[in-house]
Every structure is written in C-alpha cells, then in structure tokens.
Structure 1
Amino acid sequence: MVINSEYMRQLLLERERFDNPPDYTVKTTGVGIARFVIHCNNDVDEVLNLAKRILVIVNYNSEPVWPSFEEWLKILPDKFINNCAKELTKEELKEQKIQWDNLTYEQRLEEAKKDQAWTLSDWLGWLEPDAREWFWWNAHKFDGEIENTHFLIEVTALDDPFPSGALKWLFKACGAIDVISTDDI
C-alpha cells in the first residue's frame, strides 16, 4: 500500500496535536474542522482517553506498513475490540450479501439508517491510508451540568463532506451513548 504525501503530512501533524492541542488561532490543515458532540454516561474522561489512545495506536502503526488484522488484535485495547461486532465468516458474508441484494431501495435506505455495531475489520478499513479522510484536531470538555456526560471532539477533514461513520463508531465502541455532528444540531 502506497502512502501519499498528504496522508503522511496529516499523520505527522496529528501526532503533534495529540500532545500539543492547537489553540483557536491555528489554521486548519485540511479543508476545515468538523465538530462532534460526544454523549457519555458520566464517564467522559474514560471514553475520551480510550478513543485518543486508540487513535495514537492507529497513527503510530499506520506506516511504513499497515498491520495485519491479527496484529491489530494484539495492539488495540480489548475494551474497544470487545465492543465491535463479531467478524462474519465467508458463508455469513455471502448470506448477508444475498439478503441485501433482495432488499428494495426503500428497505436498503432503512437498513442504512440503523445504528449498528461495526466489525473491527470494517472500522480498520476506513482508517487505512487510502481511505482515511479525518484526523484528530482537539477535544474540549464542558463545564457545568454536562461536564461529566458530554464533550466536543474536533477533527480536520481532507474533504467536505467526509464519511464520519468510523469516527462515530470509535467513540461508541469506547463507551459513548451517542455521537452527533454539530452540523446536525
């Protein structure tokens, strides 16, 4: 897998931001900042720290060679892995495709709206260098009544709009109740 120069640049900038969050005067490195409100069950620090830890692991293991699925199983936290949906066998995948192909367009739209758990392999597929379109920018905790139940995550995106399903699943698999784009609020 060839890693393009923009991806590599974003990966290195993301590493800097893990330890040194940018202040509001720093210009974004992608096409802009996307913000998501993460709703938790009184465990903001736990969810935020686990998600950030996973992204650090993905970042530092993304190059020079993308790890095998078996290697990811060894280096990603068990809590995250255990919250992912079980991997399907080839036979189950084949049956799932047949079922999908038999759905009407309207039924497919309804299925796509369902908030279902992702398999680890599906999630990793969206973090691979040729698919990933967002990178960690910053996180902000709230004060007051929602300080233990909500926080804001910011990512810089390479495209607008960008597929955010893997980002949302990251936080849900880390224990979040819901992840909402501020564009939807």
Structure 2
Amino acid sequence: MGIVEVLARGGAGGVEVLGRSRAVLLEVLEHSGPGWPTVEEWRSILPPWFVAACGPEMRREDAERWMAWWRTLGPADKARVESERRWTLADWLYWLMPSERQWFWWDAKVGRDDTLRVSIEVMGWPTALGALDWLLRAAGAVEVFHEENLLH
C-alpha cells in the first residue's frame, strides 16, 4: 500500500480540472453498487462534457489494427501515443468498475502554480492509472504525470 501523487497542469487550470474530475467520480461512486450501469446508461449519467471528450468506440477489427500498429512503436513513441490518445467511454468505464479499479482518491490540492496534485492510495506498484490520467486530461489538463511515494 502507498500513496502516489498524480500531478495535472496546463489547459483549463487546476481548480477547474479538480471540480470537473470530482463531478465525474462522484457519479461513478454513486452508481458503483450492485448493477453496474451499461455504457449507454453511463452516457446519460456522466456529465455531457466528459462523454463528449471520450474517443469513438472502435470496432474489433479497428482496435486490433491499432494495437498491431502500436506494438511496432518504440517505448518513447508508445508513451507519447498513449498520453495523446482519447479513451473510449467503454474502456474508461471498464477500469472504473469496482472489481478493476486499483486506486482510491485520497486528497487533492491546487498549488500556487495552478498545478493540481491528486493523492491516491494504491494497493501496490505498478498500478494501472491510465483511467485516472484520462479523466484528468478530459477535465482539461494538458500534462499528467506521477510521483511515487510508496510505503513499504
């Protein structure tokens, strides 16, 4: 267990990114009980700006073609492409399901430099944080990165 700091900056500004991110996560938490909604139900539950920010759903053939192309890239290009890619709503929701989510929002603060610093609790490291990164980017952040402060 430990704490990871996720920093988000640029774009809309820390206060706006924080407010928008919290609005989305509050809806997810409110609907995380038994009977996880369908993707179509989530489209009407989540804020319209978030749904609109998500990328279009891909057909299986398109996803396989994209993955084959992505695997040809070097590590730096893979990281760049992933940081620029818009997540589909279905992919994002999968990683927010209670059975899949590996992190828990602990605290958040906006610094003097307008950087949003989100503290999340993780069960171990490495942890899948792509869904959180996408949420912050969809909420208006241009740059998202992690600082590990894990407890051993």
Is the TM-score greater than 0.5? yes
**Aligned match of 1:134 in 97, 103, 108?**
103
**Contact 2:6–2:144 under 8 Å retained in 1:** yes
* Match of residue 160 from structure 1: 125
- Secondary structure of the 2:18 match is helix
Q: Which has the larger radius of gyration?
A: 1
Amino acid at match of 2:54: C
The residue correspondences of 1:35-74 to structure 2 (distance < 5 A) are 35-41=5-11, 43-74=13-44
**Contact 1:100–1:108 under 8 Å retained in 2:** no
**Contact 2:15–2:116 under 8 Å retained in 1:** no
* Match of residue 171 from structure 1: 136
| CA–CA distance in structure 2, aligned partners of residues 49 and 99 of structure 1 | 33
Instruction: Give TM-score, length-normalised by structure 1.
Output: 0.71
Gaps of 5+ in 1: 1-30
**Contact 2:17–2:116 under 8 Å retained in 1:** no
Shift of 1:124: 0.5
* Match of residue 107 from structure 1: 73
Shift of 1:95: 3.4
| CA–CA distance in structure 2, aligned partners of residues 77 and 105 of structure 1 | 33
The residue correspondences of 1:70-81 to structure 2 (distance < 5 A) are 70-81=40-51
| CA–CA distance in structure 2, aligned partners of residues 100 and 44 of structure 1 | 33
Q: Structure 1 or 2: larger strand share? A: 2
Structure number with greater CO (CA < 8 Å, separation at least 6) is 2
**Contact 1:136–1:155 under 8 Å retained in 2:** yes
Cα distance change, pair 94–172 in 1 and its aligned pair in 2 (3 A): same
- Secondary structure of the 2:62 match is helix
Provide the aligned length of Structure 1 versus Structure 2: 145
Gaps of 5+ in 2: none
| CA–CA distance in structure 2, aligned partners of residues 64 and 154 of structure 1 | 27
RMSD, aligned α-carbons? 2.0
Cα distance change, pair 105–41 in 1 and its aligned pair in 2 (3 A): closer
**Aligned match of 1:87 in 36, 41, 57?**
57
| CA–CA distance in structure 1, aligned partners of residues 44 and 109 of structure 2 | 30
- Superposition misfits of 4+ residues, deviation over 3 angstroms: 98-101, 103-106, 108-112
Shift of 1:159: 2.3
Percent identity of paired positions between Structure 1 and Structure 2: 31
**Contact 1:32–1:157 under 8 Å retained in 2:** yes
Shift of 1:38: 0.9
